[in-house]
């Protein structure tokens, strides 16, 4: 059962994809079409037959005046079938006395319902939009309009393409009257005047396109909503792979999608995969289709007949074009896979060689580092052994002298071990400042093999002398520090006596924008209170700092005609701690103004912990603003050349809880609330 269902589904899908297209024409043959009928047939239908009807499509022709009649049903199999359609249209004569488009459209709906449902249907109605039914069938204007709207709605609900072409109304011709009188019947003259159905308005209400007839080229394709293609005349020099470019124009009022299924040139397939082309309403787009010859054509200049095949859903015209090009065969690339393999192998060899060199260099550096550490350890061990030998020699000499007092022990630690670097530094110091030789200092001669030791008593005396010199040096440094403090105190006392003169000189020097040398102020460790440095901050920028939480603020900028900077969004948020200030001005400032050229910092904004204060620096921009002023949620006008050009407003960031509370309280939203 499942297999049977799948087979039926596949058969239905294949039939739908290959189904023909039903093109139904409802032609008004009443006397109101007499003057324009031949123009409609000769200018409209040749393009329809040539560009829109495809092989296996079915053309249906229905005429109507007082009642509808099926004139022709022709399946397109060859060129002769298309010529038969045009001949049958020219045989019709618009001589009908009455005109009932409502009854005719109802007939078309019933007729199309009997056609196969899987075939797409396009219905084109040609009528002047007048209603003049026979007396026995004549309805009121309201009833006729309602019936017409109901039929249009039913057709739209079935998914069929419905188009109205409104032909300009003409007066009844004398020929039409003569034909009606030639029958010899005693029919009474027409008593009711034709009524206008307002067909354009009714169709627009049902979202159905209605066009006023025009005899210009391309009008038929515009009414059918068929995209138009324009091909180039010459492609130039091409090879196996190239791009086929053409221009696609969508005349419809809605977007369409073209499904390109195949492209051929002189019977040679070019398109490798299907392509979808999206066209918006009334859009003109240049489409470039990547194609490739499945079989190389002849070399040299030639003219190719290109044919484009679209899906049956939406077609485009013309789908054929003769384009000149010159084919240049390219190089064969059969060896490309081997080249790729060889390149990958070479790359792998280079990576392996680089890794080997890095590994070898790492091992070499590690070996040199270990060798250097071993040499330093060996030198340190030799120095330690020599120091221990010196200590043993001193202790042995003391024992042999018979002295009851033991000599001071020598503390041997790694910090006193002399390395070659330390010995080199000591030799440089001795050369820079040689020691004076005295009679008490014995001459010690040291060689690589023997070390002559001075007497033990001299060694002890030398140790005591060094300790005494160290203590004397410490006392001298302490006394020098006290002298410096006393000199500094005297300097500070003298400067305090001339504080008024110094302060005036300092202010004068600061006003001249010269660099003021900063005096050395004593620190707290010296025990002297520091002298406060005079402040040069203008009085307008001085504010008292209060306790308060840190907050975030942003600046809104707009012009007098409500042109907002940053699309009515705050540019950035700055976090202020109590006592902090930010600048307002050009690109170097924190709050930037970019709507008008500002070449300097024109103001500063400070936060004292409770309020946000605005301090104008350039008064020409703020002639009416007091200083300082609270600027939170306040509009500040910026004057450029004496005119109010900009407005500034500073807003504070509120939490989500505050916003919810505002909403619950029913507070009216402020400007800054609408900008978030």
pLDDT digits (tens, 9 = 90+) for 256-266: 888 888 999 99
- Distance, CA of 213 to CA of 216 (rounded, Å): 9
Q: Is the pTM of this model over 0.85?
A: no
The predicted-structure confidence for 599-644, as pLDDT tens digits, reads as follows 889 999 999 888 899 999 888 888 888 778 888 888 998 888 767 7
Q: Residue 250: which pLDDT band, with cuts at 50, 70 and 90?
A: confident
How high is the pLDDT of residue 218?
76
Express as a percent the part of the chain with pLDDT over 90. Answer: 19
Strands (E), 331-479: none
- Please give the residue that has the higher pLDDT: either 101 or 454: 101
Mean pLDDT, rounded, of the chain: 76
User: CB within 8 A of 505, min separation 6: which ones?
Assistant: none
Over residues 500-515, the mean pLDDT reads: 51
- The lowest-confidence range among 3-12, 47-56, 343-352, 476-485 is 3-12
How high is the pLDDT of residue 539?
54
- The lowest-confidence range among 8-17, 118-127, 289-298, 469-478 is 8-17
How high is the pLDDT of residue 115?
92
The predicted-structure confidence for 331-363, as pLDDT tens digits, reads as follows 555 566 777 888 899 999 999 999 999 998 888
- Distance, CA of 203 to CA of 105 (rounded, Å): 13
How high is the pLDDT of residue 305?
92
Q: Residue 570: which pLDDT band, with cuts at 50, 70 and 90?
A: low
Which two tokens mark 78? 């060859």
Q: Is the confidence at residue 16, as pLDDT, over 70? A: no
Q: Give the containing element (helix H, strand E) for 235.
A: strand 234-238
Q: Residues 606, 541: contact at Cβ < 8 Å?
A: yes
- The lowest-confidence range among 30-44, 127-141, 471-485, 492-506 is 492-506
What does DSSP say about strands 601-607 and 581-585: parallel, antiparallel, or unpaired? antiparallel
Over residues 191-201, the mean pLDDT reads: 78
Which residue carries 């014995």 as its tokens? 442
Over residues 294-318, the mean pLDDT reads: 83
* Chain CA centroid to CA 601, Å: 32
Q: Residues 384, 412: contact at Cβ < 8 Å?
A: yes
For the ranges 349-353, 381-385, 413-417, 536-540, the one whose mean pLDDT is highest: 349-353
- The lowest-confidence range among 140-149, 501-510, 546-555 is 501-510
The predicted-structure confidence for 69-103, as pLDDT tens digits, reads as follows 999 999 998 888 888 888 988 888 888 888 899 99
- Distance, CA of 325 to CA of 266 (rounded, Å): 13
Q: How far is CA 492 from CA 487, 488, 510, 520, 625, in A?
A: 9, 6, 22, 10, 44
How high is the pLDDT of residue 333?
57
Q: Is 556 exposed, middle or buried (0-12, 13-18, 19+ CB in 10 A)?
A: buried
Q: Is the confidence at residue 112, as pLDDT, over 50? A: yes
Residue 369: CA atoms inside 13 Å, Cβ hemisphere, count? Answer: 6
Q: Is the confidence at residue 500, as pLDDT, over 60? A: no
The DSSP-derived string for 24-53 is EEEEE-BGGGTTTHHHHHHHHHHHIIIII-
Which residue carries 């009997």 as its tokens? 114
**What is the spatial order of strands in the sheet that 68-75 belongs to?**
68-75, 58-64, 21-28, 120-127, 161-166, 210-212
Over residues 203-224, the mean pLDDT reads: 85
Which residue carries 């009714």 as its tokens? 202
Q: How far is CA 469 from CA 305, 416, 435, 442, 476, in A?
A: 113, 20, 15, 18, 10
List own/partner pairs for 650-653 with CB under 8 A and 24 or more apart: 650/553, 650/554, 650/555, 650/556, 650/605, 650/612, 650/614, 651/553, 651/554, 651/555, 651/556, 651/570, 652/551, 652/552, 652/553, 652/612, 653/551, 653/552, 653/553, 653/554, 653/573
- Distance, CA of 633 to CA of 611 (rounded, Å): 11
How high is the pLDDT of residue 543?
59
Q: Is the confidence at residue 108, as pLDDT, over 90? A: yes
How high is the pLDDT of residue 54?
81
Q: How many CB atoms lie within 10 A of CB 138?
A: 16
Which two tokens mark 669? 């939203």
Q: Residues 13, 144: contact at Cβ < 8 Å?
A: no
Q: Residue 405: which pLDDT band, with cuts at 50, 70 and 90?
A: very low
How high is the pLDDT of residue 255?
85
Q: Residue 175: which pLDDT band, with cuts at 50, 70 and 90?
A: very low
How high is the pLDDT of residue 178?
37
Q: Per this entry, what is the length of the chain? A: 676
């Amino acid at each position: 059962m499942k297999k049977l269902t799948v087979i039926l589904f596949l058969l239905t899908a294949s039939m739908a994809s290959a189904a023909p297209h039903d093109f139904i024409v409802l032609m008004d043959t009443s006397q109101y079409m007499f003057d324009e009928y031949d123009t409609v047939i000769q200018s409209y239908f040749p393009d329809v037959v040539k560009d829109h009807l495809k092989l296996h499509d079915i053309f249906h022709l229905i005429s109507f005046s007082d009642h509808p009649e099926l004139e022709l049903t022709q399946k397109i199999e060859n060129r002769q079938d298309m010529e038969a359609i045009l001949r049958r249209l020219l045989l019709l004569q618009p001589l009908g006395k009455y005109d009932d488009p409502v009854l005719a459209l109802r007939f078309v709906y019933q007729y199309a319902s009997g056609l196969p449902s899987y075939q797409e249907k396009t219905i084109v109605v040609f009528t002047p939009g007048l209603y003049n039914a026979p007396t026995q069938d004549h309805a009121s204007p309201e009833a006729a309009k309602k019936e017409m709207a109901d039929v249009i709605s039913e057709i739209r609900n079935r998914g069929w393409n419905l188009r109205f072409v409104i032909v300009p109304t003409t007066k009844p011709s004398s020929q039409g009257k003569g034909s009606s009188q030639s029958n010899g019947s005693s029919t009474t003259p027409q008593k009711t005047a034709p009524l206008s159905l307002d067909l354009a308005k009714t169709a627009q209400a049902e979202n159905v396109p209605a066009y006023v007839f025009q005899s210009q080229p391309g009008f038929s394709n515009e009414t059918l909503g068929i995209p138009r293609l324009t091909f180039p005349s010459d492609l130039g020099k091409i090879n196996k792979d190239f791009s086929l470019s053409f221009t696609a124009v969508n005349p419809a009022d809605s977007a369409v999608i073209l499904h390109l299924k195949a492209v051929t040139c002189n019977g040679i397939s070019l398109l490798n995969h299907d392509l979808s082309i999206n066209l918006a309403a009334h859009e003109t787009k240049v489409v470039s289709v990547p194609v490739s010859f499945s079989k190389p054509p002849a070399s040299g200049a030639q003219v190719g007949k290109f044919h484009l095949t679209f899906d049956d859903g939406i077609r485009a015209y013309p789908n054929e074009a003769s384009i000149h090009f010159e084919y240049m065969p390219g190089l064969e690339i059969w060896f490309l896979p081997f080249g790729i393999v060889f390149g990958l192998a070479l790359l792998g060899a280079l990576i392996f060689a680089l890794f080997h060199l890095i590994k070898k260099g790492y091992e070499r550096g590690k070996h040199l580092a270990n060798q250097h550490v071993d040499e330093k350890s060996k030198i340190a061990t030799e120095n330690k052994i020599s120091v221990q030998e010196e200590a043993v020699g001193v202790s042995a000499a003391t024992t042999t002298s018979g002295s009851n007092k033991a000599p001071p022990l020598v503390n041997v630690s790694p910090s006193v071990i002399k390395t070659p670097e330390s010995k080199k530094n000591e030799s440089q110091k001795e050369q820079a400042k040689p020691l004076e030789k005295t009679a008490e200092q014995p001459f010690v001669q040291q060689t690589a093999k023997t070390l002559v030791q001075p007497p033990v008593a001299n060694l002890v005396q030398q140790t005591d002398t060094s300790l005494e010199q160290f203590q004397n040096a410490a006392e001298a440094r302490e006394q020098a520090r006290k002298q410096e403090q006393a000199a500094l105190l005297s300097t500070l006392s003298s400067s305090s006596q001339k504080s008024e003169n110094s302060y005036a000189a300092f202010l004068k020097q600061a006003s001249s924008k010269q660099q003021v040398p900063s005096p050395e102020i004593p620190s707290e460790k010296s025990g002297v209170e520091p002298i406060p440095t005079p402040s040069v901050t203008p009085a307008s920028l001085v504010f008292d700092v209060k306790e308060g939480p840190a907050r975030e603020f942003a600046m809104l900028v707009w012009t007098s005609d409500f042109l907002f900077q940053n699309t009515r969004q705050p540019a950035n948020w700055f976090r202020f701690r109590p006592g902090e200030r930010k600048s307002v001005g050009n690109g170097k400032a924190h709050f930037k103004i970019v709507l008008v050229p500002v070449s300097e910092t024109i103001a500063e904004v400070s936060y004292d912990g409770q309020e946000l204060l605005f301090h104008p620096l350039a008064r020409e921009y703020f002639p009416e603003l007091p200083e300082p002023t609270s600027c939170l949620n306040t509009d500040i006008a910026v004057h450029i050349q004496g005119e109010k050009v900009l407005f500034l407003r500073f807003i504070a960031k509120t939490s989500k809880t505050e916003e919810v509370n505002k909403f619950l309280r029913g507070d009216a939203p402020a400007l800054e609330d609408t900008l978030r």
